[in-house]
Amino acid sequence: MNPCSGTVTIPVKVRFLSETCPPEKFNYATPGSAGIDLRACMEDAEVLIPPGGRYRFPTGIAVECTMPGVAGFVYSRSGLGTKDGLVVSQGVGVIDPDYRGEILVSLLNTSDQTRTVTRGQRIAQLVFQPVVRAEILPQDSLSDTARGAGGFGHTGTI
């Protein structure tokens, strides 16, 4: 347990793949941060992303979480998304426990202006979370509920 934040820590092996993003840049911003900052470790000094455009950034790291039942999840940085409109393009990226390649982050520009990302800039955050896998049980029917098969917007608005 981390005494500064009261959170549980797990061992994660990290392979650093780029001198652009050295080990000292791969860290939590504060003792209470939930996510580790991921940085844009591309060769170019900067990348321009037009409105509605996407760009896949290398992060310069590969990870191996050594705790069974835990995976990495790549989330948008709230400030980058709110202020600049740059968000993780698929919503949340999943780093499966058995993946050993470089973590790539695809950013989507949701703003109406071209945005610039510079080499070494913090672009996303990596959070390690437990994963529960489903045991698939094929069925001919499912139990009844008050909602039943009511879809999106079924409950209305108040």
| pLDDT tens for each residue of 112-138 | 999 999 999 999 999 999 999 999 999
Joined together, the tokens standing for residue 125 give 């955050």
The proportion of the chain whose per-residue pLDDT surpasses 70, expressed as a percent, equals 92
Mean pLDDT, the chain, whole residue set? 91
Residue 5 included in any domain: no
The answer to whether the beta carbons of residues 43 and 5 sit under 8 Å apart is: no
* Per-residue pLDDT reduced to its tens digit, 74-112: 999 999 999 999 999 999 999 999 999 999 999 999 999
Residue 103 included in any domain: yes
Output the pLDDT for position 3.
53
Residue 21 included in any domain: yes
Q: Domain range for residue 16?
A: 12-130
Number of domains the chain contains? 1
Round to whole Å and give the CA distance between 9 and 72: 13
Residue 152 included in any domain: no
For residue 112, give every residue at least 6 positions away whose Cβ sits within 8 Å of its Cβ, in sequence order, or none.
51, 85
CATH of residue 53's domain is 2.70.40.10
> Which helix (DSSP H) or strand (DSSP E) does residue 26 occupy?
none
Output the pLDDT for position 46.
97
Residue 157 included in any domain: no
Residue 74 included in any domain: yes
* Average pLDDT score over residue span 39-61: 97
Output the pLDDT for position 146.
84
